[in-house]
Every structure is written in C-alpha cells, then in structure tokens.
Amino acid sequence: MALPRVVIVGRPNVGKSSLFNWLAGRRIAIVDAMAGVTRDRVSALVQIGDEADARFFELVDTGGIGVVDRDELSREIEQQIELAMHEADLILFVVDAREGLMPLDEDVAHRLRYLNRPVVLVINKADTPELETTAHNFHKLGRGTPVFVSVHQKRNKDELLRVILERLPAATEKPAEAVMKVAVVGRPNTGKSTFINTLARAERMIVSEIPGTTRDSVDVRFELDGLPFIAIDTAGVRRKAKIRDDLDFFSMHRAERSIRRADVVFLFLDPNQGVARVDKQLADYIAQHYKPCVFVINKWDTILAHPDGPSAELMNKYATSVQHAFRTMAYAPLAFITAKTGKNVKALINLGQAMFKQARKRVGTGVLNRVLREAVQAHPPPMRENRSPKIYYAAQIDVAPPTMVIFVNSPSLFDAPYQRYLLNVFREQLPFRDIPIKLYLRARSQASGSGAARGSDPFDPQDLPSVGLDAEVNDLLSELEE
C-alpha cells in the first residue's frame, strides 16, 4: 500500500511551515516572517504511536497560495501546489486565528471545493482559548468543525493528529528504509534540481535560470533497479559576501546539514563557470565530515558543442584542472553527466552506491598491519625532536568512514605529510580507494605489557595480543564517544 500523503495548504504567512515542522518533530522547512519563503514541496515521514501499532504518513508542505514571488516564480510555485493537492489523500487547510477570515482564505476554499479530497480546516495561532471565539467567522468556508492549534504555544497537537488518523487508511506500513542518502550540493544554477527531477521522473523541484530558486533542503525518494534511495536537493551555496538576507543564510545552513545527513555527496560543478572559492569551501566542509564525494561535472553537453567537437582530450584536460583545484581530495572520483537528458545519471548513482559500500567495509587486523609494515619499510618516518618515531600496530575500529587507529610511541613525532602518506597507502592497498579515511594516532601504553614496552621490534607479532588490543580499542572508542 502506498504511503498516505497529507498536504498542508493555505495563503502566505498563516504558519504552514511552522505547522509542518511541529508535526514532523524537527526543523525541516525554513520559517521566516517574509511571505513566500516556501517554493518547492517539502516532505517528511511522520510516525504516530509505538512500533507495535505505529501509523505512518507523508507530510507535505507547500508554498503560499496567491503569493507574489520576488523572483517571478509565482507560476512555478502554483504548479507545485496544484500537483501536491491532486496527489493528496488528506488536505490540511490552514488559516490564521489572529487575523481572522481573509479574502484570500475564501479563494483557497473555492479552489478546494473542486477537489475530491477530504479537507480538515486547521485554525493556527490560536494561542489562547479566547481566540477560539473567532470560529464563527470561518464557518462560511464550509469545512465543518475546525481544529484550533497553536504551534507557538504547542496547543492541541494530539487533537490534530487524532483527526488526521481518522481520515487516513487504517493500515499504513512503514516504507522500506532507503538504501542510500545522497546530498546534491553546489553553487546556484549548476543543475541540481534538474538532476533531482530526472531521478524522480517528475517535476518534483522548481527549475529556473534564476539563481537561488531552491531554498529548502528537500528529500526526494526515488527507486533504481527496485531499490529505494533518497536524494537531498539543496539550495545553491553562495559566497558569504553575496548572502542577501536570512533566506540565503538558512539555505546555506541547511545545505551543510544535508551534507552531514548524507551517506554520499555529489558536488555539482558547471564546466562553463570553472571552480570558484565557494566550491572549495564546500569541498572542505565535505572533507571535514569524512563524506564520500563525487565531483559531478554537469551540463557536459554544452562543452561537447565546442567548435573542436567532443574529445577525450578535452575531458582529460578538464578533469586535470578539477583535480588540481581539489588537491586534498584527489581520491574523489569525477563524473561527467547531462542531468537534463539523463545521460550518465544512472551510472553516477551506481558509482555512489559503490562508494557507499566501500565506506562500510572492514579489513582484518592482520591485513591492515601487513600493509602498514610494508609502508613503513618502504618509507620510514623521519626523526623528529631527536627521537625515532615507532609504529607498533593498527586496527580498524569503525566504518562510514573507515576509522583506523595506529598505536605509536608518540603521536607528536608523526607530521601531517607522513600521515597523508599512510592514508594514501591505505587507499592504494585496501578497499577504500575512492573515499576518505579517518586516522587516529595513539600513544601505546607501557602498562599493557606489550613488546613496545619491552623494547622489541614494533611489528613483532607478540605486540598484537587480541585481549590487549581489544582493551586499547575499547578505551579509544570510549574517549571518542566522550
């Protein structure tokens, strides 16, 4: 059974996005005093009740009906609202208790009369019981007994959820968990929303040449080869100097949050624009959070229209320039696509899936230490502070990202270049070629009775007692959790 869809509609500034966040239980949609903030359909999975008898539905926020958009996107916003209403199983028609009945509310009610969908009238901003006396003003909308709520005062949420459940199908199973979450990030106008629409095979996001069209981070569920995925479309990230208002600030904040939520990140680049500082800032943020990343060169069809014609030499030249610009992420693969036509889009998702699996692999302690031993023998760490750096052993303690801890005599003796050398060896020799690896150096405790304390060969197998190793790793995990 398809997941029931509950759609929130109403004129601007009646608190639709606040109500959406309240019912969803977390801040998803941007809330701002300026009318017309929401443009795209923003959705969230809502669970009511315990696991044993839980009910589920998809909650959808929409733009304000009748809004005059500052970027002249009113027609596109209206189209998204219309699509949402026709796909709804239940509509929450939201009005404002403080402002009372407005002419635009009546226009919304008129539009809803022609839809064969159940509608619940939700009177928001009823902060006190006294404001409920305005109910008689809304009876002319013809929507029966309203539900008074106040997001600000957290009033009557349970009552609204009860009314929603009464009007939804009785059996609502939880949808299958997504195999992978992909965050799609980049500067404005790099084709992110077009890419999402291609994946969803629908006009799920507003696409426009106007920079900054997308504001919210929007989760879009799609299927490929029978497997469920979630693509997170994000607002185009601008340089701080070009942030015009709070909306740009919140959009950037949500783009960063989407990176943290994602399993894999696609950083979109426009080959006609080159690499800018904001692209490097985004890449740094992705690297700081150890997220697998693909540099996606979109709109490649425009480059193929080059007077010299398509050529592998042109592609290699551009790939080299991108890799030079992101030298610290040389491990990240590149993908050349045309989102508008769907060229190489499926291959890109397959690449992301392969990286997702890489990030969840584990290697045995024996294999890891063999690779580490060979790396040290080929290129021993240089002396520092008149002391010889010593490496005793290593272990993988976590996945996503693969996390390695190397026990040494003193972490301060290993500089950043040597740590990068070890990470590069791990990528070459272990199944982590395309993804970031987290590395910790830890001083080996002499109290453990290891070979290091006895002054023996750091790679003596006796230095790898399983009980001692587990104790050290558990201690480190405890420290990391703290």
Q: Is residue 395 part of a domain?
A: yes
The pLDDT profile of the chain, 482 residues, written as one tens digit per residue, is 578 899 999 988 898 989 999 998 887 765 554 544 566 678 888 888 877 678 889 899 888 887 665 555 667 777 888 888 988 999 999 999 988 889 999 988 988 888 889 999 999 999 888 888 777 788 888 788 899 999 989 999 999 999 999 998 776 667 778 889 999 998 888 888 889 888 888 665 444 444 444 545 677 888 888 888 988 877 656 555 454 545 556 666 777 888 999 999 999 998 888 888 889 989 999 999 999 999 999 988 877 655 555 567 788 888 899 999 999 999 999 999 999 899 999 999 999 999 999 999 999 999 999 999 999 999 999 998 889 999 999 999 999 999 999 999 999 999 999 999 999 999 999 999 999 999 999 997 643 444 433 334 555 433 443 334 455 555 655 655 44
User: Does residue 387 share a domain with residue 468?
Assistant: yes
User: Does residue 103 share a domain with residue 49?
Assistant: yes
For residue 458, say if its preceding peptide bond is cis, omega within 30 degrees of 0.
no
Q: Which residues contact 388 (CB under 8 A, 6 or more apart)?
A: 413
Residue whose token pair is 């050529």: 311
231: CATH: 3.40.50.300
Q: Which residues contact 434 (CB under 8 A, 6 or more apart)?
A: 292, 331, 332, 333, 354, 355, 358
The pTM assigned to this predicted structure is 0.78
Q: Is residue 174 part of a domain?
A: no
pLDDT at 40: 65
User: Does residue 405 share a domain with residue 325?
Assistant: no
Of 298, 323, 358, the position where a domain reaches its end is 358
Cβ(442)–Cβ(408) below 8 Å = yes
Q: Is residue 52 part of a domain?
A: yes
Q: Is residue 172 part of a domain?
A: no
Of 166, 192, 219, the position where a domain reaches its end is 166
pLDDT at 311: 64
Q: Is residue 173 part of a domain?
A: no
Number of domains in the chain: 3
Nearest to 123 by CA among 35, 141, 64, 61: 141
User: Does residue 188 share a domain with residue 158?
Assistant: no
Q: Is residue 466 part of a domain?
A: yes
User: Does residue 205 share a domain with residue 138?
Assistant: no
Three-state secondary-structure class, residue 318 = helix
425: CATH: 3.30.300.20
Q: Classify burial at 442, counting beta carbons within 10 Å of its beta carbon; exposed 0-12, middle 13-18, buried 19 or more.
A: middle
- Residue 214: which region, alpha, beta or left (left: phi > 0; alpha: psi -120 to 50)? beta
Range of the domain at 457: 365-481
